[in-house]
Amino acid sequence: MRLVPLLLASCAALAQGAFEVASVKPSPPGAAERSLTRQPGAKLSASNATVKMLIFLAYQLMPFQVTGGPDWVGSEGFDIQAKAENPKATPEQFREMLQRLLVERFHLQYHLATKELPIYTLVVAKSGSKLVEAKAEGLDVGMRNEGRGRLVGVKATMPMLAGSLTRVLQRKVVDETGLKGGYSFTLQFAPDDNASDAPSIFTALSEQLGLALKGGRGPVEVFVIDGAERPSAN
């Protein structure tokens, strides 16, 4: 995803409605589990959540896209209960309210930048692509994650697949397959090194789809935290 629109979105967020009620407190010493959820009625519930976790949700980012800031933004947890004035707020409005909470309560400051980082390039394997272009009409086009280690494409494009692989691998994946159609497929792989019954995602891509991932470095747009402050508890 491109981050340029985020700057405009965050500026707009300050002009939007805020959470009607928001309690932000440092988590008690010894808190272990971390959770962050949007609950029915446009409510935010966080337990031992870090500022970085809030940023991931507010700006729809992945960990490799966020850098900078004091060490505590990725380690110290906060318990947060927040309620939107409009219980029917859309997901986008909810994220805008969370962006505003980060600015007002944590005094978040940031800028966007492009950095050279490790990436993967998605290409056709030497053995050739095994994908067959989908012809059926009326399909619910896109990529679905059907649990750990299973990706399903329905008339999906290669950029869609690259986006799903980016989330799985936590590293930017760039489509350079040259395949322009929409394809239906299922990709099954080991979600971690302990699952030995299934192939690695690299092997699965080659054997099941006729694709490959090449490692390298390339430009990645990142969200750089310039500053943040611990909020006063309330």
Q: What is the pLDDT of residues 50-75, one digit of tens each?
A: 999 999 999 999 999 999 999 999 99
Q: What is the pLDDT of residues 168-222, one digit of tens each?
A: 999 999 999 999 999 999 999 998 766 567 899 999 999 999 999 999 999 999 9
Q: Whole-model pTM?
A: 0.81
The confidence score (pLDDT) of residue 60 equals 94
For residues 97 and 16, the answer to whether their CB atoms sit within 8 Å is: yes
Q: 29 vs 24, which has greater pLDDT? A: 24
Please give the average per-residue pLDDT across 20-44, as a whole number: 90
What six digits make up the tokens of 56?
Answer: 């991931």
As a whole number, the mean pLDDT across the chain is 90
**218 to 28, 114, 168, 180: CA distances (angstroms):** 41, 10, 18, 22
Q: What is the pLDDT of residues 157-169, one digit of tens each?
A: 999 999 999 999 9
pLDDT band at residue 13 under the 50/70/90 scheme: very low
The confidence score (pLDDT) of residue 139 equals 67
Q: Is the pLDDT of residue 11 over 70?
A: no
Residues ≥6 apart with Cβ < 8 Å to 194: none
| Residue 123, strand partner residues | 212
The confidence score (pLDDT) of residue 48 equals 96
CA distance 112 to 131: 37
